[in-house]
Structure 1
């Protein structure tokens, strides 16, 4: 890694971004499974292209697509393959903290955070818990919400608490004053042991630095949009299968495994060169510590456990948090939309943290476009 960073003149995080975009191939070192090897030809070719021309527009494109994120934040960061919330190790926090305590840390709130909510969000249609109710209800709140401009931070914290609590209700948590993981367990008719797993998962999912959903929420906040609008903007982005709904792809994969067996499914994916959903992560080349922490607390169904083990052995890629989340849902037969519900509720804490932090900047985020279309027609009356 040090050699690649030196050759390209970038930080490790940028190298991970290049790997995720397919610009640099990576594999596990056969001599030491804790290390990763990067293809020298890819790194050298990328260095030549970078040296050939770093025009202004190239720098702008790179800033938007992951090369060098330019938005300063004190919320979340990665150090040596670990995730930190305001300098505190997220995995260590997940051993005992709940989402309310993480929210207080990320929001820099003076008072304890309370997500209790006596009533659910207004539920259009059938009112069946899930993302349909959550999104439609947030949209209604966003349409009538107050701008964040000119409001005290403690007032915004109060509104943020209410939003997260009501969002949990929309995904099936029971109303009441208990911490969210207990309310989810009660709403989904699960034991206290499962509630502990839900607590761990939500703490691990609360934030992940400047993701696409966090960026969108920050853009909305920079315009003075209401907090429900900021959360809605972020959650609709989170719902993409390449982001927060990746566990849905893993769930579909697990269904195949349970129907056809792990060997048959693995043979199909490996023989066709299809990537296995949920394995590998560009920011964690040595393995997603969030997944390892959650998977250590429960045993997925036997056929899925065998699949995870064999897939890791055959590909060298470790399961990421999406595998752990889908495995948790499969093991305890949670509701169909439970994985996304947990992810969305937990990550709404991070989205609100980014929105609140952005308010202190006082400047609208307005990237410039780099026009690549047809040349404009000549203006009427122009001189030839």
Structure 2
């Protein structure tokens, strides 16, 4: 939660805006695939990352994204935004020269947009998962305390770069 910012929270919002723009462009007469290709080419031309793909840990597949998309499909929530997401994932290797795995920050906004959730509110959604993770950590800390070990490790690895306290 303390690491929240453009990467942790912003990626879902950026993905939502990307998918919404692809769906809107397709509604004006293009195919979702062609509109996804154009959108990803525009990102590449500005040296921008593609939101919703790539992950430092999940390099082959993100099981969280797969589970969410499968669950949404079982509920009948596969709509234009999840199709746009699939089109983005499909075209990335051709345009960026390497495969980037779909990540959960891509799946979450695709499913929520198809369910009618507003794109502008997307940045707050990852806070729900982060809050639940903190609750789980609090419970775990009662059984297997690691707080002092974490604080000690952080103190050894991270140099304070702020103003000198007076």
| TM-score (normalizing by structure 2) | 0.65
- Structure index of larger Rg: 1
Corresponding position of 2:92:
311
CA spacing shift, 1:320–1:361, aligned 2, 3 Å:
closer
In structure 1, distance between residues paired with 2:117 and 2:94:
28
Query: What is aligned with 2:111?
Result: 328
Q: How many Å apart are 1:313 and its aligned residue?
A: 5.6
SS of equivalent residue, structure 1 residue 346 = helix
Q: CA RMSD in A?
A: 3.1
Aligned residues: 137
Q: CA deviation at 1:372?
A: 8.4
Contact kept in structure 1, 2:16 and 2:122, CA below 8 Å: no
Distance 1:372 1:248, change over 3 A: closer
Q: Normalising by structure 1, what TM-score?
A: 0.31
1:363 aligns with 2:148: yes
Per-residue deviation at 1:255?
Answer: 2.7
Could you tell me which runs of 5 or more consecutive residues in structure 1 were left unpaired when the two chains were aligned: 1-212, 214-236, 374-384
Indicate if the aligned counterparts of 1:312 and 1:319 stay in contact, CA closer than 8 A: no
Asked which structure has the greater RCO (Cα within 8 Å, sep 6+), the reply is 2
The structure 2 residue matched to 1:293, chosen from 67, 89, 94, is 67
SS in 2 for 1:253: helix
> Shift in Å at residue 354 of structure 1?
1.8
For residues 319 and 358 of structure 1, the distance between their equivalents in structure 2, rounded to whole angstroms, comes to 32
User: Is it true that 1:340 corresponds to 2:158 in the alignment?
Assistant: no
Question: Hey, which of these two has a bigger chunk of helix by percent?
Answer: 2
**Long gaps (5+) in structure 2:** 26-34
Greater strand content: 1
Shift of the 324–371 alpha-carbon distance from structure 1 to 2, 3 Å rule, reads closer
The answer as to 2:28 corresponding to 1:268 is no
Contact 2:65 2:104 in 1 (8 A): yes
1:198-242 Cα offsets, whole Å, 9 max, x none, are xxxxxxxxxxxxxxx3xxxxxxxxxxxxxxxxxxxxxxx254121
Q: 1:338 to 1:256 in 2, by over 3 A?
A: closer
